[in-house]
Amino acid sequence: MFMFELEYNIKQPWKKTRFIMREAIFLTLANNLPRFEIFDKVRIILLNLAGMSIAKRAVIWGPVTVRPIGSVKHIIIGENSFLNTETRFGVPNEKVTIGNFVQIGPRVSFETVSHGLLPRPNKLRTSHSLPIKVCDYVWIGAGAIITQGVTIGEGAIVAAGSVVTKDVAPFSVVGGIPAKLVKKIEQ
């Protein structure tokens, strides 16, 4: 797991502020490195220092957007996984776990929170969060959106531009809005 302890006691608000500031500083540095291969390892180090848990030999081209600030600790990335540019994580309360040997295209969004359908008088809509799990050997195409509570099974492929609202079976191809089974992958 991550080298720093990221939990803080609400009775000590200065600790929370310190963790949020550390995340903001290191995330900003990582996102503003030049886009050259030589900086890929430095970017991983900075993202780990920000609080993200990244296994060895992962590659992240960045920039990475994490909302809200203070929630980067909810992101876990496995060995030899690749995240292309402009990956977004909306992770206020739940984790996004990305397995090993996963390939993620540009502008993919992971959203662990959603809102209720009914408006409430003089209030914001209710919200609910569920974790997202991406198993090993998954390929997610450019611009896909992965919503709360979804598990993408081992070896699955998510077509570019898809909105995944339900679990994806292992070794299957899904696409569309909402994503539906396109075909099973023969092993």
Question: Measuring CA to CA, how many Å separate 148 from each of 8, 39, 98, 109, 143?
Answer: 25, 32, 14, 11, 16
User: What confidence tens digit (pLDDT) does each residue in 28-59 have?
Assistant: 999 999 989 999 999 999 999 999 999 999 99
In percent, how much of the chain has pLDDT > 90? 78
Q: What is the pTM of this model?
A: 0.89
Mean pLDDT, residues 10-36 = 84
Residue type at 80? N
The whole-number pLDDT of residue 8 equals: 45
Strand, coil or helix: 82: strand
User: What confidence tens digit (pLDDT) does each residue in 66-100 have?
Assistant: 999 889 999 999 999 999 999 999 999 999 999 99
**pLDDT, the chain, mean:** 91
Q: Which two tokens stand for residue 14?
A: 């200065």
pLDDT at residue 4 greater than cutoff 60:
no
Annotated active-site residue in 18, 115, 166, 180:
115
* Rounded CA separation 115/162 (Å): 20
Question: Measuring CA to CA, how many Å separate 187 from each of 76, 99, 156, 158, 184?
Answer: 28, 20, 12, 17, 9
pLDDT at residue 62 greater than cutoff 90:
no
Sheet of 82-83: strand order equals: 59-60, 82-83, 103-104, 139-140, 157-158, 172-175, 180-184
* Rounded CA separation 61/74 (Å): 19
Mean pLDDT, residues 147-174 = 98
Is 115 considered catalytic here? yes
